[in-house]
Structure 1
């Protein structure tokens, strides 16, 4: 059996996360038991939610245990199988974590899923046609529920979730505005992802300045907002929300280092009779087949062309993850293992 390199959470961050919180180890892969499958990971997903799990604090998911492999989505290939449903060579997606191989009990529902790479590249199943894509779909379709002509906005617009949101919203006839960090990302959102406009938040020092920029690209106000960031960005959008607007609350990356994120104008939720709903996409598995089918179709038609930032080798994962938290990635952040 192959040697398996793994990245463990060695200690919890005190404030900002650092590479010293992680530890690289090598272990022998155990022999397979009945119903188990050995998967060699080709790509490992890095996602903002992982930062919250590094803390030992109340959250929607259990904290990442110390001394264990960091949790995370993976795609790869079956190399050995003791389960009749999986054969060597099958391409699969699962939650193998930050390691080169995983031994999976394939009899557990949802532990592994076979994927077709004929029209959708394997790596996309960790992004546009995976958890981030379904996250965008759920927030748009089930919470914002736009009608044609509505103006919708998404923060972190060029990330894995934001890029899928843009394609899904355009397919529904919406006026789609992104918020992203840097002129290059905004140019990509408009020219490659098909956004109607994108606002660079970096030149804006306060919510009033950013709200003014949003007014220029969304003069009729904002009907739906998909929130990934929180903080000043959310405050600015709230100033431009229309009456009976809907906010799908997905992430608050501005506060992932443990600092409180005060809201400047909570009264706007009452004044504008806003619907604000937080959600965790793993709690809505019933929508995944419908969402994945639409996302795969958009990719196959060339209407969703997500960009990927790929670091090489398991040892690069901690540095790449810290870069993701600072917005250094462009599109979906992955680690290539094979």
Structure 2
């Protein structure tokens, strides 16, 4: 008999998540049938989308989330014991697969696949640069922004898993890169280790003036992770025919949906500069999924991509890790080690 522990949603988040929004329960798993396998979680991914999609999640369901798990028992030759698997299994310790994967709230199929061989790299990268966040950076930036050599690129939430990745791809493409984040410590990492050309701390006054100084010839590409007034300011400084990829809107994730934050209108800038603005969801490129993983893996091996993880120990610390992420406490990818 295997007892799985899991967090179920007992109340939708209002503002920052709270301990009593989730309930920790045990579930007795049935014996394996032919064709099934049993996996045990090793790493959990902590991502901003967990907060954004929370209002869409049914009460009583297992808390959303992706994990890397080890197959500890199998009656399916396609999923051998000892292999590691990526699964959208949620916040649970043990899972019987293969899952009957359903469409999520946006109509995309959840995912489940054996991790490719990462060599000597950590398995946790399957939840970061070599997983969904890595593909979010790869496809969103290259397909929507279509950067050209010598162009100026601005990235918000630049010290996060996706933003730090986008900035490095922009440098690979020989662009000039400006990162916006919330602490000078993060800025030092971006410029001194990742090769960003400049950094702006949005928590300090004078964002517009600092942006004009960092991009005196305007901005060609904007990778938007935050929305709100910061994005309005960036868009106001874009060049004609600039491209904007909207990946996230983290400034509003903890807000009351009936009273969202106000920001300067951007429609005038879109019209005047003939800008292209497009939101996206990474599973648009599900049929090219391994292309992104393989290219990012090659860039890591070539030393062109560097990664950093903020690792929290313990299944019981999943919610504190999410709260820390939403407060901007992470640098790079936020991970919980089971």
With the length of structure 2 as denominator, give the TM-score of the two structures: 0.92
Question: Conserved in 2, the CA contact under 8 Å of 1:93 and 1:115?
Answer: no
Shift of 1:111: 2.3
Partner of 1:60: none
Cα separation, 1, equivalents of 2:131 and 2:162: 10
The residue correspondences of 1:131-280 to structure 2 (distance < 5 A) are 131-204=132-205, 209-257=206-254, 258=257, 259-266=259-266, 267-280=268-281
Shift of 1:233: 1.1
Question: Conserved in 2, the CA contact under 8 Å of 1:127 and 1:160?
Answer: yes
Task: Please state whether the residue corresponding to 1:234 is helix, strand or coil.
Answer: helix
The yes-or-no answer on 1:127 pairing with 2:144 is no
Partner of 2:330: 329
Partner of 1:85: 78
Cα separation, 2, equivalents of 1:6 and 1:313: 13
Partner of 1:32: 32
Cα separation, 1, equivalents of 2:170 and 2:176: 8
Partner of 1:13: 13
Shift of 1:123: 0.3
Runs of 4+ in 1 over 3 A off after TM superposition: 106-110
Question: Conserved in 2, the CA contact under 8 Å of 1:147 and 1:174?
Answer: yes
Shift of 1:308: 0.8
Shift of 1:170: 0.9
| Greater CA drift, 183-192 or 2-11 | 2-11
Shift of 1:114: 2.9
Question: Conserved in 1, the CA contact under 8 Å of 2:128 and 2:134?
Answer: yes
Question: Conserved in 1, the CA contact under 8 Å of 2:118 and 2:297?
Answer: no
Partner of 1:59: none
Deviations 1:206-244 (A, max 9, x none): xxx212111222221110001000112101101211111
Task: Provide structure 1 residue ranges, at least 5 long, that are not aligned to the other structure.
Answer: 56-62
Task: Provide structure 2 residue ranges, at least 5 long, that are not aligned to the other structure.
Answer: 102-108
Residues paired across the two proteins, number: 326
| Greater CA drift, 33-42 or 152-161 | 33-42
Task: Please state whether the residue corresponding to 1:177 is helix, strand or coil.
Answer: strand
Shift of 1:139: 1.6
Q: 1:224 to 1:99 in 2, by over 3 A?
A: same
How well do the aligned residues superpose, as a CA RMSD in angstroms? 1.6
Question: Conserved in 2, the CA contact under 8 Å of 1:5 and 1:314?
Answer: no
Shift of 1:30: 2.4
Q: 1:92 to 1:194 in 2, by over 3 A?
A: same
Shift of 1:76: 1.9
